[in-house]
Structures are given as C-alpha cells and as structure tokens.
Amino acid sequence: MRIGVVAVQGDVREHLRALERLEVEAVPVRRPAELEGLAGLILPGGESTAIWRLLKWSGLVEPIEELHRAGVPLFGTCAGMVLLAKEIVNWPERFFGFIDIAVERNASGRQVDSFETEVEVAGIGTVPAVFIRAPYIRRAGPGVEILAEHRGQPVMARQGTVLVASFHPELTDDLRVYELFLKMCG
C-alpha cells in the first residue's frame, strides 16, 4: 500500500516515519505526478495558508480534488484539518471543503499554550494527543461522525473518505490513529 504525505510544508518527516513503522510505502508528495497510485493521502500540520499557497504554486490543488472525487481517503492533521474543512469560522478564506465541519483556527491558543494530553477515540481507545495551536471543530454536519473530544470540543472526525484530527499523532509513538486511516485506505 502506498500512502502519500503532502510535502510542501509542515510535519512531513514525522508522518513518513510513522507510516514506515507500519511497513507502509510512504511517499512525499510535492508534484502532481507523485499522487499516482496512492491508496491514501495525508495533509500534515503546519501553517494552513502557507500550505495552501504552496499547493496552488505546485499545481497540487486540482489533482487532490480529483483524488477526493475518486474516493481516495484523505487524512488531515491540525492545519490539514483546516484545509479539508468546509468552513473556517475565524478566517475569510476557504480551502478544499471536503468535510462538512466548521473549524476555528488556533482555537487551543498560541504556540506557548501547546500541550499533550490523552483523548478517547471511538473504536480505538485512549491515545496520546499533542495539540499545537490546534483548530477545534465548532460545527459538524449531519453526515460527520465525531471520533474524539477534548474538554467537550470535537477534535477528531470522519465523513466518508475524509478523516481529520486537531492533534498531531505523528509526534507520539502510538500508531493506532494511522491504523484507523490505513483501514479506510485498505
């Protein structure tokens, strides 16, 4: 199974290492041709507006939209969740809009407010979760399944072939969130 990680900015190496630990062929994606033959694609954490500009500059926006239309699973973490959300409540721009959620960018606070905790993920159990300027889900449409919450705020969700998380599973040793995504890709 080949899983791509958008490699224009953000936590790319960490996602690639996690996938390699699961003995999955992990591919950094910088150009449209590198999307061919992927079973799934991860949009990493980083800075959502910077990632979006680089996706447009590299010609990846339309090919990622085609992947989504073809039913290839997508997994967005932190900024990747912002990119995949239908609405951003505190930002005028909208990006892909593949999952019917409204998110608030940087809802967990500034960089100095970053923290690590545990969250209960439906179907997985308790997992470590690293929150760095994390977005929170402020609204979820009727077709969205909330998979995890932190202090009453939804922080992980799934709709169809799209999985999103506010936190950074790539910064922990626990691979169960990736295993969930790989099942979606399988």
Q: What amino acid positions are annotated as catalytic residues?
A: 78, 168, 170
Nearest Cα neighbor of 26 from 43, 11, 36, 41 is 41
The Cα 55–Cα 125 span in angstroms is: 34
Backbone angles phi, psi at 27, to 5 degrees: -120, 120
Cβ atoms 181, 163 nearer than 8 A: yes
E strand spans, the chain = 2-6, 25-29, 40-43, 74-77, 85-88, 99-104, 115-121, 125-131, 136-140, 145-150, 153-159, 162-165
Tokens of 87: 């609405």
Give Dmax over CA atoms of the chain in angstroms: 41
Cβ atoms 140, 101 nearer than 8 A: yes
